[in-house]
A and B are shown apart, each in its own frame.
Chain A
Amino acid sequence: MQAHEIVTTVLLALGCVISLTGSYGLLRMPDFYTRLHTAGKTDSLAQVMIFVGLVFVTPDLLTQLKLVMVAMILMIAAPTATHAITKAAHLHHLRPWTKGDPGGEP
């Protein structure tokens, strides 16, 4: 494997690990706000890493530019969506779960 393929493999592997951790956290966390932490942050980071990783193995320049463009769009749009979800839940008076409350589910 050449150098750029190693860089891509490392970035893709990191993106995979982060994304899988986030998905597992979405499944197992007890409350909406904790799930928001795992899903919102890891999603945004993992996909940017995967797209930046794919830049190194693309042969032509136009596709590389498009990949960078998608990464930049996602860096702006994904955290905005997470922020909007949080704000909507907060304005709806959704209470965070504290330890000892009944009803926090895995």
Chain B
Amino acid sequence: MTAIVLIDTLLLLLVTVTAVAIIEVRNLYASAMLTSVYSLLMALVWVNMHSMDVAFTEAAVGGGISTILLIGTLVHTAREEKPRKRRLDWKALLLTGLCGGALIYGTFDMPRFGDPKAPIHHFRVPEMMAQTVGFVTSRAGKQAPPEGFDPSAYRSFNGAVASVPADPTDTAWRETSILAQHGIMLPKVLGHASHPAAEHTEAGHHQHPPDDFNGHVPNSVTSLLAAYRGYDTMFETTVIFTAGVSLILLLRRPRREGYLQRSAPLADQAVLRVVTKMAIPFILLFGLYVITHGELGPGGGFQGGVVVACAFILFALIFGRPALYRVLPPPVCDLLTGLGVLMYSGTGAACLLLGGQFLDYSMLNTLSPGDGEALGMTLVEYGVGITVSMVMLTIFNQLAEEQSK
């Protein structure tokens, strides 16, 4: 067994043991902490599969916010689970076994991990890439593929690749792939400047180095989320905003009875206070970095927003909620929640007013549509980040406020 298979096995074994322990342990406090452990182990599993954006989100949301909210819920319940008589439900066990068996049987048909002949790499994804980061021409508007591009050639492509070397870091084989020869997908290799499909320059547009998809947004996940699936992401942000609004409507009580009286700051512990004062600006700056750098590397609006929210939560934990309300008053927090969604939809509306379609970011920069796409993606990621961070903070504030009775 090679070492990588050993690592995979051990990781999945850790995850299974933690999951069983969450159910079996009766102390609810321990279950909450084991849930945090489960989240970070799942983040490791995602990192093992090289999906960094998902791993970021799992670490930030599952290991951070979710655990804090679970602990906040524990204030209102008992510490121990009530003892139950252990009975085995045969019908449920049979149904679960059948479902699990059917799922495992279904995975036999899936392509192997990282297979270059997998359908995802051929039929739809290269066209998506071409729309947002690939073919750029000298006219404004949504990018059409260059001449000679045959959509039916995509759909009839059977994935025949000449020969794939065993070393995953050796990508030179893509130069001679049928995809590149057909001009279907520009390969992400260095030094393919002599490639026939690489002469995609346009007026007023500088040459890109050959290894960033010949476009502007090398992080394909962000480009798919923000541009190809722009509507989906906009409505996801609206859903998060709606969750925050419904929490405010349902749980916020009128604040006339001195709701800030009993708060318990940890600020009398000198070590924690000093270290937190040093750490909070850094965490805020890092959250901003994750939002902004989401186009070029792993990251994005959701992950960065959660990190920014975590910084404010740390401030509230150490210095008390009155101090947080002085720094970020709840009316400002509510206003910023809506501002993020406004930024997202406003970018789409701006594209509409500039003469294109809704959320067609290439209208933002008529000289160079690719730069317009990148600018639009940056703006919407900021919108998402602002909304997510303020809604997470609203949830934490509401949960902590429940105790002030």
Contacts and interface: CB of A to CB of B under 8 A. Distances in A.
User: Is A in direct contact with B (CB under 8 Å) within the complex?
Assistant: yes
Interface of A: 73, 76-77, 80, 83-84, 87
Contact of B269 (A73, A76, A77, A87): A87
Interface of B: 269, 271-272, 275, 278-279, 282
A60 to B, nearest CB: 13
A83 B278 contact: no
Report the 10 A-B pairs with minimum CB-CB distance, sorted nearest first. Answer: A80-B275, A83-B271, A84-B272, A80-B271, A76-B275, A87-B269, A80-B272, A77-B279, A77-B275, A76-B278
Contacts of A87: 269
Residue among A73, A76, A77, A80 facing the most chain B CB atoms (10 A cut-off): A80
A84 B269 contact: yes
Contacts of B271: 80, 83-84
Contacts of B282: 73
A84 B269 CA distance: 9
A23 to B, nearest CB: 13
B260 to A, nearest CB: 25
8 contacts: A76-B275, A76-B278, A77-B279, A80-B272, A80-B275, A84-B269, A84-B271, A87-B269
A76 B282 CA distance: 13
A83 B276 CA distance: 13
A73 to B, nearest CB: 8
A32 B117 CA distance: 54
Given A73-B282, A80-B271, A84-B271, 12 more contacts: A76-B275, A76-B278, A76-B279, A77-B275, A77-B279, A80-B272, A80-B275, A83-B271, A83-B272, A84-B269, A84-B272, A87-B269
Contacts of A84: 269, 271-272
Contacts of B279: 76-77
A80 B278 CA distance: 12
A4 to B, nearest CB: 20
Contacts of B269: 84, 87
A76 B279 CA distance: 9
B285 to A, nearest CB: 12
Contacts of B272: 80, 83-84
B360 to A, nearest CB: 34
Nearest to B278: A76
Nearest to B266: A84
A83 B266 CA distance: 13
B143 to A, nearest CB: 31
Nearest to B283: A73
B228 to A, nearest CB: 29
A83 B279 CA distance: 16
A82 to B, nearest CB: 10
B117 to A, nearest CB: 31
Nearest to B269: A87
A83 B271 CA distance: 8
B39 to A, nearest CB: 18
B27 to A, nearest CB: 16
B381 to A, nearest CB: 21
B244 to A, nearest CB: 30
A13 B279 CA distance: 30
Nearest to A80: B275
B297 to A, nearest CB: 11
A73 B279 CA distance: 9
A27 B269 CA distance: 30
B280 to A, nearest CB: 12
A101 B286 CA distance: 49
Nearest to A91: B269
Contacts of A73: 282
Nearest to B279: A77
